[in-house]
């Protein structure tokens, strides 16, 4: 077996050591980049969720709006609509009576 030169062995050992040290640094950098990207994605998801929650909390539905009007003004929309319908029906009955000819009675 041929014996390798001492300087060649030292150069190979140095190259191997340098490669191992750099691979650890590269792996650490990749892990850090992945963690930062993951955190940015999670922050974006949190912002969208918070925005949706705030929007839904501030929107007033029709049922809630009706309850607020009733509580603040004392006006019951269903009652008002019922009274309006009764008034219109009464007016319609009066108009029907006014348009018909009176029944004939005994002629003098």
How much is the pLDDT for 102?
64
Give residue-wise pLDDT tens across range 3-16.
778 888 788 888 88
Residue pLDDT, tens place only, 41-94: 999 999 999 999 998 888 888 888 878 877 887 777 777 888 899 999 988 888
- Note the maximum CA span of the chain: 155
Q: What is the DSSP letter of 98?
A: H
The Cα–Cα gap between 79 and 81 comes to: 5
């Amino acid at each position: 077996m041929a014996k390798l030169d001492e300087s060649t062995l030292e150069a190979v050992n140095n190259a191997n050591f340098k490669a191992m040290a750099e691979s650890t640094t590269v792996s650490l950098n990749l892990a850090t980049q992945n963690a930062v990207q993951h955190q940015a994605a999670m922050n974006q998801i949190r912002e969208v969720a918070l925005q949706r929650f705030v929007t839904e909390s501030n929107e007033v539905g029709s049922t809630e709006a009706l309850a607020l009007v009733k509580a603040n003004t004392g006006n019951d929309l269903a009652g008002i609509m019922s009274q309006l319908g009764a008034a219109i029906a009464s007016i319609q009955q009066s108009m029907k009576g006014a348009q018909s000819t009176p029944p004939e009675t005994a002629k003098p």
